[in-house]
């Protein structure tokens, strides 16, 4: 566990970065997420240039969501049995090698669209393990009172990647072509693995293979906790799943909106994605500084973010000026960034350590299933009626989710919450 940070002032979250172990994790994730930001623009632009179809481009998102959806529960069981550090290191190494395959095979004229989809799928299979392992590892590095700040800082690495990566990627695509940008992403995975190696995690209470019951029995234990014993955890899963239906579709429609509606190229698309990162980074920084509040107070922040985000997405359909659109995208980014740190912190607080892997992967399965539905549905809508109408529909979905969240929060907060 990290050093003592008992002083409850608003700067305590930022001091976590200066600790040895959490600091190494943060810097490794920052580097890796910048690479992912490069990849996000480069890969989608590469596929869209090859196919000219928004639906085929959204296949990338579908292939990235199928493995977590199918394998998530099993991953959770095995994560609860295993130490998190070696798992994350090997996942980073494998992702580096798989990402390296795409530009290498393309340079050798050996990459078909089917082969590209296959590599994306395999990378997603491996990546299915990393996110839940990371969320499960955070409580082993910080105190319970620091969880929301720590999660906000970890999400901040994603925001930094979204801020810097796409902007750099757009320029790099124009200079060296999209497929060559992937070499850099591969290197960032290796840097992340190197940062993980010296980290000292607190001893976990993972179930050993000798103590473990069958996989099916362990799955049942996790499901009973979520669906029977802890109503607040189930509420969080429902809220996050519904919200991801709209947010994931927005991310994959953004290139179509940029190219077809705003009439801009990859450099400007990179700046739009960076605008999304600016909003998310600002919201994450605010959460890292914010004092912990009760469950109702934190959930009110989530509902407010959903409402603001829905209205902002709807307004994009009325704008044809890239600069003004970028300003609205900043608001969208800020509204979305408050969700995950708060929900992760609540999950970590409410869930026993020996169940955290199963709870996090079940949470991810719900999010990925809704993301798949959103990307499939809105990919078709974008091809059929254009990006402007798609954005209006997306905004309405987010507003509807906010209304559902209000109802769930009122119902759940009226009940006593049993801490794990």
pLDDT at 61 over 80: no
Q: What is the DSSP letter of 141?
A: T
pLDDT at 172 over 80: yes
This model's pTM is above 0.75: no
CA distance 228 to 322: 48
CA distance 139 to 15: 16
**Contact residues for 184 (Cβ-Cβ < 8 A; gap 6+):** 35, 38, 172
pLDDT of residue 3: 43
In this prediction, residues 297-319 reach a mean pLDDT of 83
> Does the structural domain 12-202+211-413 have CATH classification 1.10.3720.10?
no
Closest CA to 317 of 360, 379, 260, 363: 260
CA distance 182 to 187: 9
Closest CA to 343 of 135, 176, 188: 135
Buried b (16+ CB within 10 A) or exposed e, 252-284: bbbbbbbbebbebebbbbbbbbbbbbbbbbbbb
Report percent pLDDT > 70 for the chain. 83
> Is the distance from CB of 102 to CB of 111 less than 8 angstroms?
yes
pLDDT of residue 30: 92
pLDDT at 91 over 50: yes
81-90, pLDDT tens digit by residue?
777 888 899 9
CA distance 167 to 175: 13
Q: What is the DSSP letter of 11?
A: T
pLDDT of residue 418: 39
239-274, pLDDT tens digit by residue?
777 787 777 788 778 888 887 778 787 778 778 877
98-152, pLDDT tens digit by residue?
999 988 888 888 878 888 889 999 998 888 888 888 887 888 888 877 777 788 8
CA distance 7 to 270: 40
Q: What angle do CA 390, 47, 96 make, to 5 degrees?
A: 120
> Is the distance from CB of 121 to CB of 63 less than 8 angstroms?
yes
Whose tokens are 């209205």? That residue is 311
The residue count for the chain: 420
Buried b (16+ CB within 10 A) or exposed e, 212-221: eeeeeebbee
Where exactly are the structural domains of the chain? Answer: 12-202+211-413
| Burial class of 57 by CB neighbour count within 10 A (0 to 12, 13 to 18, 19+) | buried
């Amino acid at each position: 566990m990290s050093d003592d940070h008992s002083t409850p002032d608003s700067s305590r979250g930022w001091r976590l970065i200066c600790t040895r172990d959490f600091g190494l994790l943060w810097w490794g994730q920052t580097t890796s997420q910048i690479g992912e930001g490069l990849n996000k623009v480069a890969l989608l632009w590469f596929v869209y240039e090859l196919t000219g179809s928004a639906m085929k481009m959204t296949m990338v998102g579908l292939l990235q969501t199928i493995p977590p959806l199918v394998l998530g529960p099993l991953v959770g069981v095995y994560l609860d049995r295993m130490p998190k550090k070696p798992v994350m290191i090997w996942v980073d190494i494998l992702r580096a090698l798989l990402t390296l395959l795409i530009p290498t095979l393309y340079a050798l004229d050996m990459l078909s669209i089917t082969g590209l989809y296959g590599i994306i799928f395999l990378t997603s299979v491996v990546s299915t393990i990393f996110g839940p392992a990371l969320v499960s590892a955070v409580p082993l590095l910080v105190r319970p009172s620091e969880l929301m700040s720590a999660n906000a800082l970890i999400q901040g690495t994603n925001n930094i990647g979204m801020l810097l990566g796409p902007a750099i990627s757009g320029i790099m695509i124009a200079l060296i072509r999209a497929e060559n940008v992937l070499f850099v992403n591969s290197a960032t995975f290796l840097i992340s693995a190197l940062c993980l190696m010296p980290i000292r995690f607190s001893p976990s209470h993972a179930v050993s293979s000798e103590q473990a019951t069958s996989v099916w029995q362990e799955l049942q234990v996790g499901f009973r906790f979520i669906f029977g014993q802890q109503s607040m955890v189930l509420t969080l899963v429902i809220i996050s799943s519904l919200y991801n239906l709209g947010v994931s579709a927005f991310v994959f429609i953004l290139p179509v909106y940029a190219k077809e509606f705003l009439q801009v190229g990859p450099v400007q698309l990179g700046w739009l994605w960076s605008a999304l990162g600016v909003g998310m980074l600002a919201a994450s920084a605010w959460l890292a500084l914010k004092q912990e509040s009760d469950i109702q107070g934190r959930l009110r922040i989530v509902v407010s973010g959903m409402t603001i985000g829905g209205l902002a997405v709807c307004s994009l359909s009325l704008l044809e000026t890239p600069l003004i659109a970028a300003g609205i995208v900043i608001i969208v980014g800020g509204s979305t960034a408050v969700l995950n740190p708060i929900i992760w912190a609540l999950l970590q607080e409410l869930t026993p350590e020996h169940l955290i892997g199963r709870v996090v992967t079940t949470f991810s399965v719900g999010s990925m299933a809704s993301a798949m539905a959103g990307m499939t549905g809105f990919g078709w809508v974008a091809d059929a009626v254009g990006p402007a109408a798609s954005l209006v529909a997306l905004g309405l979905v987010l507003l509807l989710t906010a209304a559902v969240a209000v109802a769930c929060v009122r119902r759940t907060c009226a009940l006593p919450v049993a801490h794990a």
